[in-house]
Amino acid sequence: MITTLATYVRNYIDISDEEMQLFYKYLRVKKLKKKEYLLTEGRTCQARYFIIKGCLRSFYIDEKGVERILDFGIDKWWFTNYNSLITQNPSENFIQAIENSELLELHNDCFEELLLKLPKIERFFRVIMEKTHIAYLNRIKYTRSFTGEKLYKDFIHSNPVFAQRVPQYMIASYLDLSPEFVSKVRAKDAIK
Amino acid sequence: MITTLATYVRNYIDISDEEMQLFYKYLRVKKLKKKEYLLTEGRTCQARYFIIKGCLRSFYIDEKGVERILDFGIDKWWFTNYNSLITQNPSENFIQAIENSELLELHNDCFEELLLKLPKIERFFRVIMEKTHIAYLNRIKYTRSFTGEKLYKDFIHSNPVFAQRVPQYMIASYLDLSPEFVSKVRAKDAIK
DNA sequence: CGCGACGTTGATTTGCCTCAACGATTGTGG
DNA sequence: CCACAATCGTTGAGGCAAATCAACGTCGCG
């Protein structure tokens, strides 16, 4: 559990076992059952979460009452609502478990203290933030450039894990496609 | 010039005049004429830029040979190609001046050294990165939710500055709309 | 077993693009 | 300083990708 995180952190910074122990003091384990919410609309996000195991989705409800998925999180990803966490404004989004999940919670109250005690963590979170941002840049670029059919096929191809663990209509929502359309794309190739 | 940057930095961290002087040692002034490139496809981005005055755009060329604008930068914004800068892969994008512009260049070679000498800058760039990321999150969400007509009207309404300084077809490209479509939206309202 | 969650299929509609042709404005070199 | 070329914006006709609406099939689970 702690080793899962340590391995992850060491992709980005050098950190000793002792320092990791200190880091770990600021975390608490949080378990979520399938469909349980980590954050709901109107509440303010107060923590960053490291997903040890499981699968989450972040979504909002549009004017027509339709759920629109913004993002998925899966094993060994950091997940939060950055907007609400950083601005401390009420969240417009929900975060919900797609599977039973096990997380490490880094509460915002002790985030600053952690940075003081362990300044190299500042760098870690800057780098994480940069990586996350780059992923979004690529996503914007990608989504704009291609047809729905290509988006879906490429997504399935490059994220076979999600195709297995996430229902089809959620992938459609994430890609901003209707479930019917995705269904037709699949039918067309008389897949498999 | 330096005061423009100092004012900006002080929105995010406390920093003394002496420290700002130190920061400033790592920067050099760079001037761009209208249409001049700051970065071209295939080259690797080596710096972060603070726009003192002027207007930039970042774009790529899609498979059909069409320019697609990813982002604009304007006075008092940091601008770079984060993807190329951080991964040190060749850029897929161009960065070009829309107006004559004056920038401060923070070269990547001395970035690490600056962070060592002035650790609080690490925090500054983490926070900037977070803000930038949040802006993108909102943009993704927004772009997905609305029709082209609403996107354009809202953009013009919330960014009147751009409407004045940036040609209409570039705004269309940024919003992922055809110039013809934008033109028709404007005509429809017999605007003004 | 029955119900809710998920996926499929077909008919119809629509938002926006593409293509093409044509003004208006700007700017630049002879 | 004028002429001609870019650059930028407009207008209209036609087409298409994907949404919407509606109805039905199927599976898993309490």
**pLDDT 10s digits, A117-159:** 999 998 999 889 889 999 999 998 988 889 999 999 999 999 9
pLDDT along chain B (192 residues), means of 10: 87 95 95 93 97 95 90 95 97 94 95 94 90 92 91 94 93 96 88 38
CB–CB of B39/B95 below 8 Å? yes
Nearest in space to B171 (alpha carbons), one of B78, B50, B67, B101: B67
Residue B110: CATH number of its domain = 2.60.120.10
Q: A39: burial class by Cβ within 10 Å (0-12, 13-18, 19+)?
A: buried
Residue B83 domain-assigned?
yes
Residue B150 domain-assigned?
no
Residue A145 domain-assigned?
no
Interface of A with B (CB under 8 A): 60, 62-63, 68, 70, 82-83, 86-87, 115, 119, 122-123, 125-126, 129-134, 136-141, 144-145, 176
In this prediction, what percent of chain A has a pLDDT beyond 70?
Answer: 97
Q: Do A138 and B62 touch (CB under 8 A)?
A: no
Q: B180: burial class by Cβ within 10 Å (0-12, 13-18, 19+)?
A: exposed
Residue B60 CA to D17 C1' — how many Å?
24
Q: Looking at the 3D structure of chain A, how many domains does it have?
A: 1
Query: What confidence score (pLDDT) does residue A190 get?
Result: 58
Residues with CB under 7 A from strand D: A 64, 147-149, 176-178, 180-181; B 167-169, 179-180, 182-184, 186-187
Query: What confidence score (pLDDT) does residue B63 get?
Result: 82
Q: Do A62 and B139 touch (CB under 8 A)?
A: no
Q: Do B86 and A60 touch (CB under 8 A)?
A: no
Q: Do A129 and B131 touch (CB under 8 A)?
A: no
Nearest in space to B103 (alpha carbons), one of B120, B135, B80: B80
CA–CA min distance A33, chain B (Å):
27
Beginning with the edge strand found earlier in the chain, give each strand of the sheet holding A78-79 in spatial order.
A27-32, A101-107, A47-53, A78-79
Query: What confidence score (pLDDT) does residue A192 get?
Result: 35
Look at strands A55-61 and B55-61 and give their pairing: unpaired
What torsion do the CA atoms of A66, A67, A70, A76 make, to the nearest 10 degrees?
A: -170
What distances in angstroms separate CA B69 from CA A104, B138, B147, one per listed residue?
Answer: 39, 17, 19
Residue B28 domain-assigned?
yes
Residue B107 domain-assigned?
yes
Distance CA A78, CA A126 (A): 13
Q: Which of A60, A68, A83, A115 to mutate to test the interface with B (most CBs of B within 10 A)?
A: A83
Residue A176 domain-assigned?
no
Secondary structure of residue B170 in the 3-state scheme: helix
Residue A142 domain-assigned?
no
Query: What confidence score (pLDDT) does residue A2 get?
Result: 66
CA–CA min distance A119, chain B (Å):
9
What residues are paired with B102 via a beta bridge? Answer: B31, B53
Domain extent for B47:
2-119
Residue by residue, pLDDT tens for chain A (192 residues) are 668 899 999 999 999 999 999 999 999 999 999 999 999 999 999 999 999 999 999 999 988 889 999 999 999 999 999 999 999 999 999 999 999 999 999 999 999 999 999 999 989 998 898 899 999 999 989 888 899 999 999 999 999 988 889 999 999 999 999 999 999 999 987 533
